[in-house]
Chains A and B, each alone.
Chain A
Amino acid sequence: MVHLYQLNGYNIALDVFSGSVHAVDAVAYDAIGLYPEHTPAEIKAQLLEKYRDRPDVTAEELDEMLADIATLKAEGKLFTEDVYADRAFDFKNRHTELKALCLHVAHTCNLNCAYCFAAQGKYHGERALMSFETGKRALDFLVENSGTRKNLEVDFFGGEPLMNFDVVKRLVEYARSIEQEKNKHFRFTLTTNGVLLDDEVTEFANRECHNVVLSLDGRKSVHDRLRKTVNGQGSYNAIVPKFQEFVKKRGDKSYYVRGTFTKNNIDFTEDIFHMADLGFTELSMEPVVCAPDEPYALTEKDLPALFEQYEILAKEMLKRKKEGRPFTFYHYMLDLESGPCIYKRISGCGSGTEYLAVTPWGELYPCHQFVGDPKYSMGNIYDGIQNTALQQEFKLCNAYARPDCKDCWAKLYCSGGCAANAYHATGSVKGIYKYGCELFKKRIECAVMMQVAELLETQEK
């Protein structure tokens, strides 16, 4: 399967099953499009006709190009067959040692964001803070079930994790104390709305946290519309200076300033550029996850405008890089040489198997987006996974298990997409969230285009 597309003046061919990427000119673009259904002779005839006014398009020239295509095919870089379909069923036997936990250290929050997928941090349940004992047991559970995995990830999440900062500190201290003995290496991520960010948290995060995610939606009017306190006050003014201070001290360590865009800001690139101009160079922006009847929900009608926004973003990022003021956008990060292997490409985020969410009471869920849904309770950190059928379901949930992904060129980039989104959209984790697919495909096209643009730019020099 080859996905051909044109973007920002580039013609690009993605060979789905090898992961190969080719930048081609208009003639080769047409040839590759015709290749599966036509003989080389037919293609040559058609192109000689179409490009008869082009002196550079000669019979010999086309022979050379067709030979190049044949060579790429022989080398397994173009029109490669799907050899993974059968292997995907090997996934019954794949390793699913636990390697990451999302610790909900607080089911409460000091903001009242309108779109919160966690119902303002409480996940439709009671307010709670995770005790140190529960958190310690969760870490032990992770280690006990991690097999020979060395790198273990713990994400402090919520609600707002800084409302339980003392426990967070103690848990990190405990984790560090067992690393050597258990031959493990913990990587911590902290996600925060910033309200309680201070020097102590900054110093702690810079010492212990591999990654920090700071929530900011962009322009003040956008951010304050939906990210308010329970008393209706916007939080922009309070958190922006804190984030600026934090990022200054963060240095080279990983962080993201992450926003959510909604129907209120279809022009979300303005918010991304706003954040970049505030000095935040590591950015992420996600479409809102909510019920379709919410006033701020994104709709089908918004898609063309959103597609345009992603293109505007890619072009501006290339421009700013040339001008020496680059910024990173998470979804445009693409390491084509050192990206994930085929196992990761097929299996995805690991929810329900390698990655679990833990509530303040120690209950286990496939990920943070399933917390509170009783159908998806998997067990607890004391008794372990009790719903093994559910674990099996997630184990087998991959790009090849989803019927809707069969003919999709993007499946090895998205691994079939987010199981939670699929479940909320279709009632099954094996479904797809079509809207998410549309946005994802656009993003990958833009991300690949940026790689192509940089390659060609380097060659020109």
Chain B
Amino acid sequence: MKIKVLRVDEITVYQYPERITSLMAFMQLVNAAKGRFIPLYRYDTKNCVPPYYIEEEKTYTYVNFSGVHTVEEEEIHVLSKAEYDARLSDLIETKCIYCVHNEDDMKDTDLKSYRDNLCLDGNCFFFEEI
């Protein structure tokens, strides 16, 4: 599922709060908050590679925008963990087999070795063709 989200200071991605559907409306909310904390869901990247995120790994948090420099809107893909892992496994079978860094013992707990660097769009920080 593709959704629009807020990217804060180049790195952190947050779900739009309820009933806010545009960047303009969000900035109005920030101004109205007058430096108070705004509750948001943050999409974590611990077990995924952007722009693909895992729905179950949203964290409810509070953000203070007075120290923030940039807020942008962007689109991301959100999948369930089961779906993310299934697609990751497929990619491992079709792409990683052609990579010099791929080793049999990498299919460890939760595919961590692949999960950190292999994006579901097929790009990988490490890929080096055999």
Contact = CB atoms under 8 A, between A and B. Distances in A.
Contacts, number: 52
B10 A277 contact: no
B117 A233 contact: no
B46 A234 contact: yes
Given A219-B116, A278-B125, A233 B10 contact: no
A126 to B, nearest CB: 13
A229 B12 CA distance: 8
Given A237-B49, A240-B125, A241-B125, A195 B67 contact: no
A244 B45 CA distance: 19
A233 B42 contact: yes
Given A110-B69, A220-B117, A224-B46, A238 B11 contact: yes
B70 to A, nearest CB: 9
A233 B12 contact: yes
Contact of A278 (B13, B61, B69, B126): B126
Interface in B62-102: 63, 67, 69, 101
A233 B10 CA distance: 11
Contacts of B116: 219-221, 236
A231 B42 contact: yes
A235 to B, nearest CB: 6
Given A232-B42, A235-B11, A277-B101, A244 B67 contact: no
A219 B115 CA distance: 12
Contacts of A219: 116
Q: B interface, how many residues as a size bin? A: 20 to 34
24 contacts: A110-B9, A110-B10, A110-B69, A195-B10, A196-B10, A219-B116, A224-B46, A229-B12, A230-B67, A231-B42, A231-B61, A231-B63, A232-B42, A233-B45, A234-B46, A236-B116, A237-B50, A238-B11, A238-B50, A240-B117, A240-B125, A244-B125, A277-B126, A278-B125
Given A277-B126, A278-B126, 16 more contacts: A110-B69, A195-B11, A196-B10, A224-B46, A229-B9, A229-B11, A229-B12, A231-B63, A233-B11, A233-B44, A233-B45, A235-B11, A236-B45, A236-B116, A238-B11, A240-B125
